[in-house]
Amino acid sequence: MSELIKSGAVADVTRGGNIAYLLSDNDLFLLTGYKVIKNQHQRGFVNCAKVMHNGQIKMVYFTETHKSLLNLIPSFDGDAFLSVLINLLNGVIGIRNNGFLLCQNLDLTFDRIFVDSRTLAVSLIYLPLKQAVVELSSFENELRTNLIKLITGTPSLGETDANYLCADLSNGSLSLDELLRRFRERRTNRMGTAAAPSQGDTVTTAGSAGSRGEHVSPQPGVFRGNSARPTASNAQPVLRFASLNAPLPINFNVNKPEFVIGSNVNVVDGPITFNKAISRVHCKFEYVDQSYYLVDLGSANGTFINKLRIPPSQRHPVKNGDVVRLANSDFMIQI
């Protein structure tokens, strides 16, 4: 269920082949938005009609002959899905930049995103409401998280493609515009090469993770820091710092003597941007005398190890299986 439905502003009243929504309040309806999507239904919007149902406005979308992304994705390879993903993001960004529409009023559940199986063009369902009923950040997080779930649950895409796409989608420091640019560059690079890089390669093409010196993780759906790739001469074991209750999956590989975590992407090694309660420079891991330690860096809302708050500016040993809480978000340590 989309955040749009959860908000209670509209109810899903679909019966039969076409999709329908009932507005909870007729005052929510925006005539200008309705005219825009009616005039542009051939340019990315599903054709629709406004009807009255027991005195309430009902929006009906003519989808009976359409094919949803959810139904088509098992037939897509990595190249086809990348094109669909580009078309989807391009549509969402175009709506966001339109002065009359709000992208938060899209229903982006995957059985409500429609794809032309021949051209891979995407058609979207837009509810012409006067105001956004969900925050833009919640909308974008829902889109990213659901895309990661869809990708990781689709074996036909291939493990390497899933890894690259999920890694970028999980990176909260990348805006939707930056994601679109990266995906377009990846498609261009793929068209110019005989084969995609194998799993675990460090990609060095423009716009890719490797162009910033980041290692592309072989695990799908992880949020990577800017830590250096370990070398054979470095005996330091890798500490994995993985989220337990985050809206976006996070998995940092700590493999250097000092690894700083916080919300400021410009100064930390492991950026966490989804939680405003996490300080700009929150804490750091240190590797000293063949042991890992965690140090709170004066964070506003605290750093906890196994539910115990640690004093700032002091080293505290950590071990495999420890649960670390930053403000109100939990992470597990694996060494």
Per-residue three-class SS string for 277-325: CCCCCCEEEEEECCEEEEEECCCCCCEEECCEECCECCEEECCCCCEEE
Whether 199 shows a pLDDT value over 60: the answer reads no
Top mean-pLDDT range of 92-106, 240-254, 278-292, 317-331? 278-292
Residue 316: pLDDT band (50, 70, 90) is very high
pLDDT digits (tens, 9 = 90+) for 128-165: 998 887 888 888 888 998 999 898 888 888 777 788 88
Cβ atoms of residues 305 and 320 within 8 Å: no
Domain ranges across the chain: 3-61, 69-185, 225-334
Whether 70 shows a pLDDT value over 70: the answer reads yes
- Determine which helix (DSSP H) or strand (DSSP E) holds 35, and give its type and residue range: helix 31-39
* Phi–psi pair at 331, nearest 5 degrees: -140, 150
Whether 195 shows a pLDDT value over 80: the answer reads no
* Domain at 3-61: CATH code: 3.90.1070
Whether 214 shows a pLDDT value over 80: the answer reads no
3-state secondary structure of 63: coil
Distances (CA, A) of 147 to 133, 234, 323: 21, 36, 27
Whether 186 shows a pLDDT value over 50: the answer reads yes
- Other CB atoms within 10 A of residue 233 CB: 5
Task: Give the residue-averaged pLDDT of 113-135.
Answer: 90
d(CA 221, CA 185): 20
Least confident of 116-120, 248-252, 273-277, 319-323: 248-252
Beta bridge partners of 122: 115
Cβ atoms of residues 164 and 221 within 8 Å: no
**Which residue, chain included where needed, has tokens 């250096």?**
228
Predicted pLDDT of residue 42: 53
Please name which of 212, 251, 235, 247 lies closest in space to residue 329, comparing C-alpha atoms.
Answer: 247
- Determine which helix (DSSP H) or strand (DSSP E) holds 145, and give its type and residue range: helix 136-152
Task: Give the residue-averaged pLDDT of 37-60.
Answer: 86
State the CATH architecture for 225-334: Sandwich (2.60)
Task: Give the residue-averaged pLDDT of 313-328.
Answer: 90
Q: What are 145's two structure tokens?
A: 């998280």
Q: In the chain, pLDDT over 70 holds for what percent of residues?
A: 85
- Other CB atoms within 10 A of residue 32 CB: 11
**Residue 169 or residue 211, greater confidence:** 169
The pTM score is 0.57
Please name which of 19, 23, 25 lies closest in space to residue 10, comparing C-alpha atoms.
Answer: 23
Cβ atoms of residues 287 and 266 within 8 Å: no
Whether 318 shows a pLDDT value over 60: the answer reads yes
Residue 97: pLDDT band (50, 70, 90) is confident
Residues in the chain: 335
Please name which of 160, 177, 143 lies closest in space to residue 78, comparing C-alpha atoms.
Answer: 160
Distances (CA, A) of 280 to 82, 170, 256, 277, 332: 34, 19, 20, 9, 21
Whether 311 shows a pLDDT value over 50: the answer reads yes
Whether 213 shows a pLDDT value over 50: the answer reads no
Whether 312 shows a pLDDT value over 50: the answer reads yes
